């Protein structure tokens, strides 16, 4: 399975800067088709990103998805709507949503299920805080978060994309070492293997200060199938360097 390099733009950009970023990515992509590429702009820009990328080998995703399909849920965006405007992925359960929006393991599982039910591939984020790592709870936390998702999606486990994002590494410049990341990815892989007959279909991305300098080593780990990139995905040259690192 090809690696997946995904950009999580978070709440950044505007119409002009997005157009520039996407044009730069598209211009640099020829010859770099050994990995899949995804960008996840803020929801108001998803449709225009799809338009800008028409015919290009770059998928577009949302950064969140509602559990609901439609109705009186002010501020929410459904998987059906994402699909309607041409998105094919959605980040689900990012630690910033767990932290600032109170998203629980159970809700994250329901969101993953809602996405899958409507043709959107969820990129489900799991990962421990610094306090949890220091308390030796990393594996337990990640397993608990993943168990809720596996429970919610039932027989669709093999359709998930997962992202291991240690919270202490996100936006901090403090990356997990390739060995630290691989160790947790192996735990995740084992849990997936126990839940589906097709564990090889599940891509497990690493996220948390992945950048142009460290991507090669991280992506060389046997159970790291790509990256979910925040800050470095906003810079054309850095994002392309990471995509290049995912070719081999
Ligand atoms: P970062 O963000 O690359 O800026 O650390 C990753 C993420 O939060 O998905």
CA of 156 to the centre of ligand 1 (A): 26
Residue 94: half-sphere exposure toward Cβ, Cα within 13 Å: 23
Pocket of ligand 1 (CB under 6 A): 8, 165, 170-171, 207-210, 228-232
By most ligand atoms within 8 Å of CB, the mutation choice from 129, 174, 229 for ligand 1 is 229
The minimum-distance atom of ligand 1 relative to the CA of 170 is 5
Question: Quick one: 127 exposed, middle or buried, by C-beta within 10 A (0-12, 13-18, 19+)?
Answer: buried
Q: How confident is the model at residue 90 (pLDDT cuts 50, 70, 90)?
A: very high
pTM over 0.85: yes
Read off the pLDDT of residues 111-130 as tens digits, 9 standing for 90 and up.
999 999 999 999 999 999 99
Pocket residue to mutate for ligand 1, from 165, 169, 239, most atoms within 8 A of Cβ: 165
Confidence of residue 173 (pLDDT cuts 50, 70, 90): confident
Report the catalytic residues.
Answer: 94, 165
* CA 213–ligand 1 middle distance (angstroms): 15
pLDDT over 90 for what percent of the chain? Answer: 98
Say what the pLDDT of residue 187 is: 98
Ligand 1, residue 228: give the atom nearest the CA. Answer: 9
Candidate from 95-104, 171-180, 229-238 with smallest mean pLDDT: 171-180
């Amino acid at each position: 399975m090809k690696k997946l390099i995904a950009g999580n733009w978070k709440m950044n950009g505007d119409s002009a800067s997005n157009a520039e970023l996407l044009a730069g990515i598209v211009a640099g992509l020829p010859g770099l088709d050994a990995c899949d590429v995804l960008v996840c702009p803020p929801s108001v820009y998803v449709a225009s990103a799809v338009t800008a990328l028409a015919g290009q080998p770059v998928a577009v995703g949302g950064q969140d998805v509602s559990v609901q399909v439609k109705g009186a849920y002010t501020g929410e965006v459904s998987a059906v709507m994402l699909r309607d405007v041409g998105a094919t992925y959605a980040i689900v359960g990012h630690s910033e949503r767990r932290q600032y929006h109170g998203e629980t393991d159970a809700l994250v599982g329901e969101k993953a299920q809602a996405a899958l039910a409507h043709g959107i591939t969820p990129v489900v984020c799991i990962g421990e805080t610094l306090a949890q790592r220091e308390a030796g709870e990393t594996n337990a936390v990640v397993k608990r978060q993943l168990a809720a998702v596996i429970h919610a999606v039932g027989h669709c486990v093999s359709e998930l994309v997962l992202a291991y994002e240690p919270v202490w590494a996100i936006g901090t410049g403090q990356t997990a070492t390739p060995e630290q990341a691989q160790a947790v990815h192996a735990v995740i892989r084992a849990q997936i293997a126990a839940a589906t007959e097709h564990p090889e279909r599940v891509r497990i991305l690493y996220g948390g200060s992945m950048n142009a300098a460290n991507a090669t080593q991280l992506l060389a780990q046997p159970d790291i199938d790509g990256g979910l990139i925040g800050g470095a995905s906003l810079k054309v040259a850095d994002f392309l360097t990471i995509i290049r690192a995912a070719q081999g």
